[in-house]
Structure 1
């Protein structure tokens, strides 16, 4: 693969390009002005390196083959600011010997730092202390071996950052919102419509974000001229800007970039699919994928033996087991992470999920044989075994075409989202899994691009933004969005039309938080009254209104009335075909609080347990909301013990 090639010969940059590059890098010193489009940033920390030197720019030209954003800093304060800002990126550090001695301990404990390269003139002296730090990959006196090490580490870091989604085997498939989100993302990206203007806009976007990178700029220019002739597979396996941007966007659910790059996902998928359908490769092969995962992720693997797992990318795996083991041996030996060798058995007789053996399709024509799976390949976890103290092997097989759990989930998706298409489904899922910032970014982008005559869409978007801002406790902004949605709809429909109900309910929720209880109850009751006379009531929205009225009674210390409303809300939500698990968890949680005030600890614990069980399955394991629910349950246990 590309990662095993080394071609870091120094390139000569024309004087005009060099001067432009100097000016551009000088404008990058303020980290907050940089929009990251890749998973990585490289910080070069050295008080003696000058931005104006030809040597620096020549080094940057070499390094940017692997990391786009390179920032030179000359003091510890500026370095600390940079590290604080780079929360979503993995950081590679080139550091002078002097700064290395002073900062190695701190760097070792900084989670976003992936690798450190000490660049100095006194190699023997600095190797004495550098060997004590696992993140330091070596002491170097020349840039070429740093580039070789960086290329290898970027490749492994990309592997380690691949998002894994594991279907919880002990729960109803519909409860696992994270796994469902990955399926919806796949559906959206490989089926979305695009035109030539989409590609032009994407290239324009790339030019802006790679304008300081002469290496990638050449590739972008070639892609602009020849995108119809170029092979998507070869572009992807070259690990150029397309590969880097796509994998970051997939990891972070960056809808802004996904809406721009989705045409490439579809093209890549279609090429893999076409080659797969025409190939006569053997029915059964075994390949390997190495990845370092967290202890929490590994625990989920162990808990869900025989369940399903998906990799949220175009997964690349090798036929060479020893090659995968070699890369794992070079990992950081981080005690908080576990090395996993995924052994993947492919059987075409039971699974038709497309993949190809790269060989001549690989950009680099590697002798190491690789397999490339199409997007979001799904596997079944068959066996987990420990190979040594830090290394585990997880045996997978491609999911069968007739897998019942997958069928059940896909039916649920079509039923739940039958009125939403494309990226609108993904926007709703961002709300469902509590990625509100991504959802807000998406709907704001949609608001700008929606045609002025599409009144229904404008009303829908404003309502969604109202909900998101409400959840972010930006109440005045939220209310203005709901009012805008109401204003748009009121031009065409009567005030008692059911299409107003979600707006009324949203406004009521905000008014409740603002302490305007009478106004809030008025809006909730209006919604309930409309649905009482509607041929198509919405039980989930009625549950939402009753839930909020129950909260008002809680705030007024009317706990018997609160219990009555919350129990009615629970019945409506359970009867609803809409699986609003977030609301269901909140109803159970607040019933627990009500029963706690009524000193009925048995029922308080039952509802607290149910709330925790639900929320654990719909948001990411490290989300702070899980801790809040767990703390409440622990407090109830303590009260019983007392």
Structure 2
């Protein structure tokens, strides 16, 4: 019962209604605002906020994607779209009359990845929209619109997952995956940071957002009282906004949000370790860019990492039956062999963790985030691309193994910021130092170095103004 209440909290809290151009944000300690999800909805219609039917449709749309901007004026919407420069990608829904006006002016914008014309006269609007490749569909039925956006959004999430796949040569001394792997080691272990209770921080973030919302505050209170660490994996197996939130943070290796989500990562890791499988042969469907496949074919024997959690299935044939062709991406059957030994990422059968987890195609086995694999063959078999992977661990990667041992010996948490600078990721390095400054006691031996790093950055920022 407690878990259902928790899931209900996220489902309801993040399906909040908005007017005009409102958006849901979480506020992190640095006062930087970030969007919860990778994809945002923008809806332009003269009656988007005044029609009862449209207001009901807004609620339904938020079941697909939480964040929705609404506009009832073409000029205002066009200006906003052209000035929008965040990393999130936009899905535009537009009425027929307004679509004919605005689509020619904004179709070129890289932030807009797809457009849906939601109108009464389908045939008329199909005529002009045929000239614009981003127009996915012209529909008049609300249920059909929701169905198409939902399917499209799932495909887009898969594409984003594929972009987070990274391949590396084994002879690279310091690969860019090293800092991320070490960061997760620090976040998951109790040996490095004073407290793992970021749950309270997460609650505080939500309370700040809902400070003037009595209903939202009551939902947060319910979640706070009923969250159970023993059911943490359940959060990943249900289609809630939290899943998209976690996936985005892991995909983008967002330092601040990884710290905030530390409690959840720890709880999931503990569940996987408790129910660790010995040996599994599993499969998953993965969309991959053609450039990624060309790189793998040209560079055999490399390693591949998944930034996020990895789901897989033991039922190869059932997975193959769900495969669909894609004009832009190759659909690949990933063949994974995993044997547990010290140093490899944890993995477990979901039904062993909790028998109440509903069985879904492709979601029977879970690997911990940042699993590392050795790439085997990539071959075309019976018109299906098959990529063979073998799970490997620290002992198979000498440099990573040495760094982890060194970290355990000297507890030098600044190794992450050093690696981030080495990998030319200064913004992440600063975010990491800011988090350490908040996490560590003021008398900690590393504080002088951390403060020096932050002070140096502050001077550089001021000199650029």
Alignment of 1:529-540 (within 5 A): none
Q: What's the counterpart of residue 237 of structure 1?
A: 237
Larger gyration radius, structure 1 or structure 2: 1
Structure 1 Cα separation of the partners of residues 335 and 218 of structure 2: 37
Partner of 1:158: 157
The equivalent residue for 1:311 is 306
Q: TM-score, normalised by structure 1?
A: 0.59
Cα deviation, residue 377, structure 1 = 1.5
- Judging changes above 3 Å, is the alpha-carbon distance between structure 1 residues 27 and 102 closer, same or farther for their aligned structure 2 residues? closer
Q: Which residue of 2 aligns with 1:435?
A: 425
- Please state how far the C-alpha of 1:29 moved relative to its aligned partner: 7.5
Shift of 1:260: 0.8
Matched position secondary structure for 1:175: coil
Deviation (angstroms), 1:120: 0.7
Is 2:39–2:90's contact at 8 Å kept on the other side of the alignment? yes
- The verdict on how the C-alpha distance between 1:35 and 1:353 changes in structure 2, with shifts beyond 3 A counting, is closer
Equivalent runs, 1:352-391 vs 2, <5 Å: 353-358=345-350, 361=354, 365-370=358-363, 371-386=365-380
Structure with the bigger RCO (C-alpha within 8 Å, sep 6+) is 2
Distance 1:367 1:410, change over 3 A: closer
Query: Residue deviations 1:482-525, cap 9 Å, x none?
Result: xxxxxxxxxxxxxxxxxxxxxxxxxxxxxxxxxxxxxxxxxxxx
Equivalence for 1:270: 270
| CA apart distance, 1:356 | 3.0
**1:249 equivalent in structure 2:** 249
TM normalised by structure 2 equals 0.79
Q: How many angstroms apart in 2 are the aligned matches of 1:375 and 1:455? A: 30
What whole-Å deviation, never above 9, does each CA across 1:355-407 have from its counterpart, x for those lacking one? 2333584877245252321221111211123579xx97251223245863x24
Deviation at 1:70, TM superposition (A): 0.6
Q: Which runs of 5+ in 2 are unaligned?
A: 1-10, 26-30
Match of 1:228 in 2: 228
Which deviates more, 434-443 or 185-194? 185-194
Q: Which one has a larger percent helix, Structure 1 or Structure 2? A: 1
The Cα of 1:126 is off from its aligned counterpart by 2.4
Equivalent of 1:288, from 276, 279, 284?
284
Judging changes above 3 Å, is the alpha-carbon distance between structure 1 residues 168 and 90 closer, same or farther for their aligned structure 2 residues? same
In 1: Cα distance, 2:259 partner to 2:126 partner? 47
Aligned to 1:578: none
Change (3 A) 1:440 1:40: same
| Bigger mean CA deviation after superposition, 97-106 or 436-445 | 97-106
Q: Which runs of 5+ in 1 are unaligned?
A: 1-10, 479-642
User: 2:339 matched to 1:348?
Assistant: yes
Change (3 A) 1:68 1:289: same
Task: Give the structure with the larger strand fraction.
Answer: 2
Matches for 1:453-602 after TM superposition, within 5 Å: 453-454=442-443, 456-468=445-457, 473-474=460-461, 476=463
Paired residue secondary structure (1:92): strand
Contact 2:288–2:330 (Cα < 8 Å) also in 1? yes
1:339-368 CA distance string (max 9 Å, x none):
241422324378964323335848772452
**Contact 1:68-1:213 within 8 A present in 2 as well:** no
Q: How has the CA–CA distance of structure 1 residues 346 and 208 changed in structure 2, closer, same or farther, with 3 Å as cutoff?
A: farther
Residues in 1 aligned to 2:217 and 2:147: alpha-carbon distance in whole angstroms: 21
- Count of residues in Structure 1 that have an aligned counterpart in Structure 2: 440
Q: Any conservation in 2 of the 1:276–1:355 contact (CA below 8 Å)?
A: yes
What's the secondary structure of 1:82's corresponding residue? helix
Counterparts of 1:28-427 in structure 2 under 5 Å?
Answer: 28=22, 35-46=34-45, 48-73=46-71, 74-82=73-81, 84-104=83-103, 109-130=108-129, 133-162=132-161, 163-169=164-170, 172-176=171-175, 178-192=176-190, 198-208=198-208, 222-228=222-228, 231-277=231-277, 283-293=279-289, 295=291, 297-318=292-313, 319-320=315-316, 323=319, 326=322, 328-329=324-325, 331=326, 333-334=327-328, 338-348=329-339, 353-358=345-350, 361=354, 365-370=358-363, 371-386=365-380, 393-400=385-392, 404=396, 406-415=397-406, 419-421=410-412, 424-427=414-417
Shift of 1:455: 6.8
